[in-house]
Amino acid sequence: MTALLDPGTFNGTVYSGGWTVPSGGSRAIIEPATGAELGRTGLADESDVDKAAAGAAAAQRDWAAASFEERAGVLRRAGTLVEQHFEEIKTWVIRETGAVVGAAEFFVGVAAQECYEAAALASQPPGQLLPTNQPRLSMLKRVPAGVVGVISPFNVPLILSIRSVAPALALGNAVVLKPDPRTPVSGGFAIARVFAEAGLPDGLLHVLPGGPEAGSALVADPHVRVISFTGSTAAGRKVGELAARHLKRAHLELGGNSALIVLDDVDVERAVSAGAWGSFLHQGQICMTTGRHLVHERVADSYVEAPAEHAGHLPVGNPHTDQVALGPLIDEGQLNKVHGLVRSTVDAGARLASGGTYEGLFYRPTVLDAVGTDMPAYANEVFGPVAPVVRFSSEEEAAALASASEYGLSLSILTGDAMRGLALAERIPTGIAHINDQTVNDEAVAPFGGVAASGTGARFGGLSNMDAFTETRWITVRGEIPQYPF
Ligand code: NAD
- In short, whether 255's Cβ falls inside 6 Å of ligand 1 is yes
What separation in Å is there between the alpha carbon of 312 and the centre of ligand 1? 31
| CATH architecture observed for domain 258-435 | 3-Layer(aba) Sandwich (3.40)
**Which atom of ligand 1 is the closest one to the Cα of 287?**
34
- In short, whether 209's Cβ falls inside 6 Å of ligand 1 is no
**Dist CA 218 CA 150 (whole Å):** 9
Phi, psi (rounded to 5 degrees) for 246: -95, 10
**Which atom of ligand 1 is the closest one to the Cα of 334?**
25
- What class has domain 7-254+455-474? alpha beta
**Which atom of ligand 1 is the closest one to the Cα of 455?**
41
Residues in the chain: 486
**Dist CA 441 CA 168 (whole Å):** 22
- In short, whether 256's Cβ falls inside 6 Å of ligand 1 is yes
CATH topology match: 7-254+455-474 vs 258-435: no
User: Long-range contact list for 5-11, CB < 8 A, 24+ apart?
Assistant: 5/85, 5/88, 5/89, 5/92, 5/185, 5/189, 5/190, 5/193, 7/38, 7/39, 7/40, 9/189, 9/193, 10/39, 10/41, 10/42, 10/184, 10/185, 10/189, 11/39, 11/40
Domain locations along the chain: 7-254+455-474, 258-435
What separation in Å is there between the alpha carbon of 162 and the centre of ligand 1? 15
- In short, whether 160's Cβ falls inside 6 Å of ligand 1 is yes
What separation in Å is there between the alpha carbon of 247 and the centre of ligand 1? 21
**Which atom of ligand 1 is the closest one to the Cα of 210?**
11
- In short, whether 217's Cβ falls inside 6 Å of ligand 1 is no
Residues carrying an active site annotation: 253, 287
374: left (phi over 0), alpha (psi -120 to 50) or beta: alpha
Beta bridge mates, 229: 151, 252
SS3 label, residue 479? coil
**DSSP structure string for 195-211:** HHHTTPPTTSEEE----
How do 434-435 and 358-359 pair as beta strands? unpaired
The tens-digit pLDDT sequence of the chain (486 residues) is 778 998 788 999 999 999 999 999 999 999 999 999 999 999 999 999 999 999 999 999 999 999 999 999 999 999 999 999 999 999 999 999 999 999 999 999 999 999 999 999 999 999 999 999 999 999 999 999 999 999 999 999 999 999 999 999 999 999 999 999 999 999 999 999 999 999 999 999 999 999 999 999 999 999 999 999 999 999 999 999 999 999 999 999 999 999 999 999 999 999 999 999 999 999 999 999 999 999 999 999 999 988 788 888 999 999 999 999 999 999 999 999 999 999 999 999 999 999 999 999 999 999 999 999 999 999 999 999 999 999 999 999 999 999 999 999 999 999 999 999 999 999 999 999 999 999 999 999 999 999 999 999 889 999 999 999 999 999 999 999 999 999
In order of 56, 156, 211, 436, the CA distances from 184 in angstroms are 20, 11, 11, 36
What separation in Å is there between the alpha carbon of 153 and the centre of ligand 1? 5
**Ligand 1: which residue has its CA nearest to atom 30?**
231
- In short, whether 153's Cβ falls inside 6 Å of ligand 1 is yes
List, in sequence order, every beta strand (DSSP E) within 231-384: 249-253, 258-262, 290-296, 351-354, 358-359, 362-363, 366-369
Query: Do residues 252 and 239 lie in contact, with contact meaning Cβ atoms separated by under 8 Å?
Result: yes
